[in-house]
Structure 1
Amino acid sequence: MTVRTTQLRDAIAFALAVGATAAAGTGVAFAQEESKDATTTLDRIEVTGSRIKRADIETSQPIFSLSREDITAQGLTSVGDVIQNITANGSTLNSTFNNGGNGETRVNLRNLGSNRTLVLVNGRRWVGGNGLGGAVDLSTIPTAAVERIEVLKDGASTIYGSDAIAGVVNVILR
């Protein structure tokens, strides 16, 4: 009986040999002994979000956050006026800058329109009931009631829908 060697036979034999060597080469892992005096104190974690289902793996987004101290240091009375001062905000309707305005203040991130910026209050959608075409009047929220303001400067329309093409402003109340 003659045994013929081919490249396929040699490749299969090599793969079987490597597999058997890898399986035999795995060692046993030993657990470390538990030390009783090595305790770790963890910090408090606060999570703010919505009820929208999303993937467990999240990418880093450019989030700009204003704390309560930053807001009170500006000396402004409404959230709309505070948002007008951030650099990501474009030119929007504001009673201070537009003559004859009706007193409303909108947010317009990246100059894509005030109806393309989603406004959340405590993680829930804030709906403008004035017929503003999807835009929200931020002058209705006083700065005294605000704990912090988080601004997502990048588009988040895959999570929140077409209202968040320009970005998301999340106002967290006290």
Structure 2
Amino acid sequence: MTHGRQRPVEITVRPADRPGDLGWVVMAHGETYAQQFGWGTDFEALVATIVADYASGHDPSREAAWIAEADGERVGSVFLVAGDEPGTAKLRVLLVTPKARGLGLGTRLVEQCLTFARQVGYRQVVLWTNDNLDSARRIYQAAGFSLIDERPHQNFGDGLVEQTWSLILHPALSEG
């Protein structure tokens, strides 16, 4: 896939409900982050845990996952799962593979997630990321997320700063 194609790339964002989708999410994260940042299997294990938790017990009325495809090939993912507090959801495992970047897929995946979160009545969406993921951070900021916490960590390598971002979806409902 190249951006300089003569014909437009056919983009699809669909539910992650086909055989192989969930395994692809784990594999793509592991391979992409190893190539880009040198992160090892600790990161892949984290993604595998998130995906396994979703696969083994998600509530379809309040949780969902999506796959982005370009010309029928999987190139992105995002999950929305229930958070630790009532009314709060977590945006998880956003990824667009390097060859599909620049097509607006990250924004489309986050928009899909937020639309679903609003439809099912969440008041807030939170997410955890690392400060070196510049493109993802720009997508989150453009969607209205605010940085609420950051601290250094060494889970996947030296010099990383974990960040927690939050977006209030229904301000009138979240005020006490």
- TM-score (structure 2 length as normaliser): 0.27
More strand by share: 2
Query: Which has the bigger relative contact order, CA under 8 A and spacing at least 6?
Result: 1
More helix by share: 2
- TM-score (structure 1 length as normaliser): 0.27
